[in-house]
Structure 1
Amino acid sequence: MPASDRSLELVSAAAAAASDKLATDVIALDVSDQLFITDAFLLASAPNERQVRAIAEAIEEALLPRGAKPVRREGEREGRWVLLDFVDVVVHVQHTEEREYYALERLWKDCPLIELPEHAVSDQQA
């Protein structure tokens, strides 16, 4: 079963917020057929810890008016990999080095990409 309309709405808003904060390599994966706990992953990168935290905060602020509040939040203090769990969508904002090392998109390569609106995709794709 593909990601729900609600999940797609949240992914789109989160991707736009990440892009507004200059996140790079913003992609979304439909993991609904692989995981029963969430529909989608949003992945975004940043070159430093401060920007990782800023992107995560911007995503939270963008989803709050849509009635989405994270049920779990991890990694904010270190700022290398912030995970925001919105139940329907799990957001991973990673320092560029962590993104390359852990390569989540490679781990989830069998999952289809979710097409993001043009305004939600950064011009700074690495």
Structure 2
Amino acid sequence: MKRLILPAIALCLTAGMASQMSVPVQAAPQADAARGATLFQQRCAMCHTRNGKGGKIGPDLTAVMGRKAGSATYAYSSAMKASKTVWNAATLDKYIAAPTKMIPGTKMVISVTKPEDRAAIVRYLGAGK
């Protein structure tokens, strides 16, 4: 009987340790979008709107997902207009991480360095209006 109990205990302990060492569960999409809304207000709203009425210093970002870069009503740089970029989660993440590296000559010079902040902002922008 002891021969069966000890391996069973070891297996349970190993399984418990493995679950503690696993990758943390990602936040729910709604939580990311809500956090993204807050981050958008803190980091982006000084230049961008998301109300369909036009931008401020930067373009309005309503329905930005799937849109060709430089195609909305706004005075874009020639670099942005010439860009072949179509906005999706990956391109937005890359752009807001380092705008001038992705599209040299863009007007946007402010970046968001933390990947988790970018992910939340991108999720918010993709969540509709």
Give the TM-score, by structure 2 length: 0.30
**Whose strand proportion is higher, 1 or 2?**
1
Going by fraction, where is helix more abundant, 1 or 2?
2
State which structure, 1 or 2, has the greater radius of gyration over its C-alpha atoms: 2
Q: Compare relative contact order (CA 8 Å, sep 6+) and give the higher one, 1 or 2.
A: 1
**Structure 1 length-normalised TM:** 0.30
